[in-house]
Structure 1
Amino acid sequence: MMGGVLRRVPLFVQLAAFHAASMMVPALHALSIDAHRVAQAFFYNGVLLLAVLAALAVATARDRSRNITRSHLVALLGAFTILPVMAAMPVSDIVSDTRFLNVYTEMVAAMTTTGGSLFPADRLPETVHLWRAFVAWQGGLVVWVAAVAVLAPLNLGGYEVAEGNVRRHADLEQTRTDGQAMNPDLRVFRAMVTLGPIYLGLTGILWAILTIAGEGATTSLIHAMSTMSTSGISDGTTIARSTAGIGGEVAIAAFLMFALSRQTFSTDMNRDGMRHLAQDRELRIAGMLVVAVTVALFARHWIAAFEVGTTDDVGGALGALWGSAFTVLSFLTTTGFESAHWQAAQSWSGLGTPSVLLLGLAMFGGGVATTAGGVKLLRIYTLYAHGQREMSVLVYPSSVAGMQGRGRRIPSGGIEAAWVFFMLFATTMAGVTLAFTLTGLDFEDALALAVACLTTTGPLAEIVLGGKGTLTTLPDASKVIAAATMVIGRLEVLALFALLNPNFWRD
């Protein structure tokens, strides 16, 4: 009975109520460390928002949208644009010596799982760092649920290039046992009930591992939530300075696998793929990229070390190898963590950070229907398969393509959809770069910031632009553009085009 009543409440109101209630978590944390002013800010704002949302729920429960799937997509847009306003309210009370625009941009970066920060780490209290990671963690859960319950029925979010048996199984999940189409509200509820415990459980396991490895309780929780959401958010104790050491980095690298393929944590796609993850295309592409880039980076460092006569440092060589592998995996999943050995590798060889390479990895992105951003590995595979076929036609112009092997895995129209997305992605990146240059940024910084925001890899902007706290010096217009670009990167341009399509709004 209660579940039926709740499902009549608009999805956005439900998300907002959950978000407001979650403010009690940082309130309790602040109270436990005797930060009473911080605790009051979260508690009072949470109670006020819950009261307003309760009244809003009563007022909107009777109004049923004629197109529930459309209303869910609008709710998803609202989650990444309006919920950050709510998240920024207590932070604005706590960090009183800054403008609300800065705090709002900070919360948009968190909710869209972009990460990064406009503030130096020592300027924010420990509880605020926890709240940033918690907001990003909630954003990651929204992405997981929305992928199955909202984007899949609309053939968006990467499902447009999913292989045939994956698509058929996804369609099967959207029907009831009597063969009728599942109610969109019930679809969201089922996805939440199925994926929510998995997401929470994985976060708890990583939290326990990092704590056992030597990190503080709060820091390990922040890093666990940031890993699962691929936000890369950290407090003053970054991964490179973590007391968990290489054991913590290995654990984080293992859990970053959940951002490479949905088949690592869900059976809503290909059940056979769960038993044969080695055959998963996204994991195989990710593995090839990580190995190839790691070897290239290690060779680059080794050649530089040879020139300065430090190649006999075996420890430095192994550190350079691991640091490159971890950092490559981190940026491929658009998380943005740097290994402690990443800096050691640069000291070993005397070479700086290859920023262009990190930009390229972020653009590749992670798996479809995961918290990772970027173009996505499945689309990359689709474009590769199409390019391979076109080269074959150049050699054998009269050949006839058969629907066997890998070709059968790409659905009809999947290649066109992949090309359309890639062109829209490139066009959007060019437009955002131009917009940043019009606000006064030079081309290199504008391009780096555009890639960081569009691929939801906030730490990338910090690396390129000069470290933590440098983003707060950006012009106000740049911050507004950055916030909008983060939302575009999180929702993807195809979903926004669906919202702008007049036919989508016709009942």
Structure 2
Amino acid sequence: MDYRAIALPIGRLLILIAGFMLIPATADLVAGNPDWVVFLASALMIACVGALTVAALAGRKFTYRSRETLLFVNAAWLAFSIAGAIPLYGSGLNISFADAFFEAASGLTTTGSTILTGLDNMPPGILLWRSLMQWIGGIGIVVIGIWLLPGLRVGGSQLFAIESSENASKPYGRIEPFLARLLILYAGLTLSCTLLYFLCGMTAFQAINHAMTTVSTGGYSTSDLSFGQFHNIAVYWVAIIFMCASSVPFLVLIRFFERKPLEDTSQIVYFLGTITVASFAVFLTLRSTNDGAPLALFTDSVFHVVSVVTTTGYATDDYLKWGPFFISMFFLLTFLGGCSGSTAGGFKMFRIAVLLNFIHTLLRRMIHPHRVVNTRYSGKPIGSSVIEGVLVFSILYAGTFAAFAAIYSLLGMDLETALSASITALANVGPGVGEIIGPAGNFQSLSDTAKWLLAIQMILGRLEIIAGIVILTPDFWMER
């Protein structure tokens, strides 16, 4: 294992991180908030560490094997979470480093869980930094690094595949042209969302922050009430549209705008079908128990279903107070996710589609044992390696969820909170169920040990579990 090959790009990324910190520093300086000094000092310190690392290793050529690639991706997310926590810890929030790390990891992994209260009166720099971390985390730290830092382009397709759950194919011959289109699309969605939010009544600051956390499917807001601060149906539908758009494969969106044939649309059908069925189930049940205006009830139903399935985590109301059916429904929806190759987390629709098709194949083989029946996806046969990968991921997903839930129970959480905390961290959703970590609560009251474990679980979920677990195996560290 050549650790220098990992340290060099980490150093370059730290310089990049420091540059992003100048944005909230400027916001606080303009607002007259003293935290601008904290952001500036944090940027200088992190930039110095990065610059010294680069200076010590610059000019050398390194070989990036699969082990270096996997360790780098894990180290990048951990390093960025620590770096992102530094200004939060040094600011006027007066929080512990465990809280700061939890908030930063939640932001970067686009989970959206928070330990902060009083967001309505919080300095602009802190709010902007939280939103900016989610926006960066949504597109991916490594994706930005591959595009901006030439040193990371070695094995770029492997890095992108590990971080984004997208396959390592090169639709444009090389990885750089695809990433250029990806960044343009991401920026275009963000700008469009910002403009529509502003036109629908948000202030410019609110529109910028919420556009970044909508397109990244992160869910951080500028208010403790989340989207409940906006009593505006138009704002809710803008959020619904962009949460959905950001949860379909970005390659499909790129091909759509380039007017090229669309591929891999099966998981989009599953995604939209799930949202449609769940939204109508919630709406019809809510309508039977509530005398509110049908349009408002339908909007609330669709908004919360989309928010949970896309792993964004916004809320307009404490939907857990609607009744037991809704608690069960939203808890089950937490186990789902968006499409692969998008900013959404969770159990991706591609895997659900493959599993359902594989089950269908097994049933057909039982009925016709002598007939050759292949598992298909999007009309094409699926290789056994793909099916094995999905099955292994499913087992690890369930096992990781159960193991962490058991640990949280041992730390004193009640069963409902432990189960909900585990899946909301692993799926990068944000709010859970129950009085403590539900949409009307936060994670502040949990122990520091629980917060550290939840933060690690968020990063593990963002790395699609396997990329995080593989570095814990003895074979990974043994030289052959």
Provide TM-score, normalisation by structure 2. 0.87
Retained in 2: the 8 A contact 1:158–1:379? no
In structure 2, relative to structure 1, the CA distance for the partners of 1:271 and 1:232 (3 Å cut) is: closer
2:451 alignment partner, one of 479, 488, 495: 479
In structure 2, relative to structure 1, the CA distance for the partners of 1:332 and 1:96 (3 Å cut) is: closer
Structure 1 counterpart of 2:204, one-letter code: A
Tell me the alpha carbon deviations over residues 159-199 of structure 1, each in whole angstroms, 9 at most, x when there is no partner.
Answer: 5xx6xxxx7xx146565xxxxxxxxxxx4x55543322321
2:422 aligned with 1:437, yes or no? no
- Partners of 2:454 and 2:6 in 1: how far apart? 35
Q: Per-residue deviation at 1:338?
A: 2.1
- Partners of 1:370 and 1:462 in 2: how far apart? 29
In structure 2, relative to structure 1, the CA distance for the partners of 1:272 and 1:190 (3 Å cut) is: closer
- Partners of 1:265 and 1:9 in 2: how far apart? 35
2:128 alignment partner, one of 127, 130, 148: 130
Q: Per-residue deviation at 1:152?
A: 6.8
- Partners of 1:144 and 1:20 in 2: how far apart? 15
Q: Per-residue deviation at 1:120?
A: 0.7
| Aligned counterpart, 1:331 | 308
Q: Per-residue deviation at 1:331?
A: 0.9
Q: Per-residue deviation at 1:450?
A: 0.1
- Partners of 2:71 and 2:388 in 1: how far apart? 26
| Aligned counterpart, 2:75 | 78
- Structure having the higher helix fraction is 1
- Partners of 1:438 and 1:8 in 2: how far apart? 36
Q: Per-residue deviation at 1:463?
A: 6.8
| Aligned counterpart, 1:295 | 280
Q: Per-residue deviation at 1:271?
A: 10
- The farther-off stretch of 371-380 and 146-155 is 146-155
1:460 alignment partner, one of 432, 440, 444: 432
Q: Per-residue deviation at 1:472?
A: 1.3
Gap runs ≥5 in structure 1: 1-6, 176-186
Retained in 2: the 8 A contact 1:355–1:464? no
RMSD: 3.2
- Partners of 1:74 and 1:134 in 2: how far apart? 25
1:219 alignment partner, one of 188, 206, 209: 206
| Aligned counterpart, 1:3 | none
| Aligned counterpart, 2:149 | none
- Partners of 2:51 and 2:163 in 1: how far apart? 32
Retained in 1: the 8 A contact 2:110–2:216? yes
Aligned residues: 464
| Aligned counterpart, 2:58 | 61
Retained in 2: the 8 A contact 1:121–1:468? no
2:100 aligned with 1:103, yes or no? yes
Structure 1 counterpart of 2:384, one-letter code: S
Secondary structure in 1 aligned to 2:444?
Answer: helix
| Aligned counterpart, 2:289 | 304
Q: Per-residue deviation at 1:497?
A: 3.6
2:47 aligned with 1:40, yes or no? no
Secondary structure in 2 aligned to 1:115?
Answer: coil
Gap runs ≥5 in structure 2: 147-154
2:419 alignment partner, one of 430, 433, 447: 447
In structure 2, relative to structure 1, the CA distance for the partners of 1:419 and 1:118 (3 Å cut) is: same
2:180 aligned with 1:193, yes or no? yes
Q: 1:59-458, aligned counterparts within 5 Å? A: 59-67=56-64, 70-95=67-92, 97-122=94-119, 124-142=122-140, 145=143, 149-151=156-158, 158-159=165-166, 170-171=169-170, 173=172, 187=175, 190=177, 192-236=179-223, 238-243=225-230, 245-256=232-243, 257-267=245-255, 275-276=261-262, 280-305=265-290, 310=291, 316-339=293-316, 351=323, 354-401=326-373, 406=378, 408-458=380-430
Secondary structure in 2 aligned to 1:363?
Answer: coil
In structure 2, relative to structure 1, the CA distance for the partners of 1:144 and 1:246 (3 Å cut) is: farther
Secondary structure in 2 aligned to 1:492?
Answer: coil
Structure 1 counterpart of 2:18, one-letter code: A
Provide TM-score, normalisation by structure 1. 0.82
